[in-house]
Amino acid sequence: MRNCFKSSHDALPMTVAERIVRPDIDEYFMMMAVLVASRSTCTRRKVGAVIVKDKRVLSTGYNGPPRGMAHCDVTGCLREQLNVPSGERHELCRGLHAEQNAVIQAAVFGTSIDGATIYVTNHPCSVCAKIIINAGIKEIVYDEYYHDELAEEILAEAGIKVRQFKAPEWKAFEKYLNGLHGF
């Protein structure tokens, strides 16, 4: 892997866009997923998803409550209030997952995602895995691992290609998006 940022030590001041080296296709779509995740108002975990086919973005989604409802950063986290451990009782949450919102967004606009790839910042849970399978998505590229054995089993059984994105050098981009201007 290569560093996605050019050195600015021997150059005139550059904009962030000028400092970014052209990313490969996985880096490009995963950076989009990270940017999409920045819209999340979840107080536990920010997740973003980008659904792609033929190198074209079809839909995006981030985790959060249904449209028109108060956000969790306003109401507080129901799961935290009820002491629900991560990975359990998914129905006890005001929000939808990023993958769910991306699939719903495609449906709302009549966009077929059959045969697509989904780039997501976290490995899907079992609920999202089932939605991904039925939506006809054929590949999942995720950044951070989320332990859910059932999700792994059903994705394997369905023949969905699942691979972890590995590019630690571009974490600087994520820090930039989170306001930690580390360069």
Of 99, 139, 152, 174, the catalytic one is 99
Q: Which amino acid is at 30?
A: M
Please state, as a whole number, how many other Cβ atoms lie within 10 Å of the Cβ of residue 153.
Answer: 12
Distance CA 47, CA 98 (A): 6
Catalytic, 99? Answer: yes
Query: Which tokens go with 67?
Result: 């449209």
Letter string b/e over residues 19-34, b meaning 16 or more CB atoms within 10 A of that residue's CB: bbeebeeebebbbbbb
User: Shortest CA distance to 121 belongs to which of 178, 36, 57?
Assistant: 36
Distances (CA, A) of 42 to 94, 96, 103, 139, 177: 10, 10, 19, 26, 16
Q: Which amino acid is at 20?
A: I
Query: Catalytic amino acids?
Result: 99
